[in-house]
Amino acid sequence: METDTETDDRLARWRASRRERVPRVLVVDDEDDFLELSELFLSSDGYGVVKAHSAAEAMSEVKRNPPDMALLDLYIPGGDGFQILRALRSEPATRDIPVFATTGADLEDVQGVLRVGFDGHFPKPVNWPRLRDVLRSLLRE
């Protein structure tokens, strides 16, 4: 489990390591509509978007070109968002990136999601203006 101080330190390292380029967001979800809407919203805000339908597809994308941030559905085929989070945190190129959980299921333990290392949770349907504000604040700091 990550403490608040560890989370702050990780995000500070991430901000310091960002290159001057379009931030890339990995979006992992098994619903095509959500992937398309995410791409439309995020790309219109200036983000590069990499979409994946499964845990295996997500990790293949991560190895090919590590993202700067990630939105992970907690319940996907061939694994889950928790598995992907652990994999991201174990790789030097992605261990410091902000990772957010998304789910359409009623998530009773949001604090549990944060304790395992997610940087936040966005219930579906996602409040896109709120997501925009969170991502912008991360990039500004």
Flag residues of the chain having pLDDT under 50. Answer: none
Tally of CB atoms within 10 A around 73? 24
Residue range 16-36, pLDDT digits in tens: 666 567 889 999 999 999 999
Residue-level pLDDT at 141: 56
What residues does each domain of the chain span? 4-140
- Beta-bridged to residue 119, according to DSSP, are none
Residues 6+ apart with CB under 8 A from 29: 35, 38, 51, 53, 71, 73, 76, 102
Q: Which CATH number fits domain 4-140: 3.40.930.10, 3.30.2270.10, 3.40.50.720, 3.40.50.2300?
A: 3.40.50.2300
- Give pTM, 2 decimals: 0.83
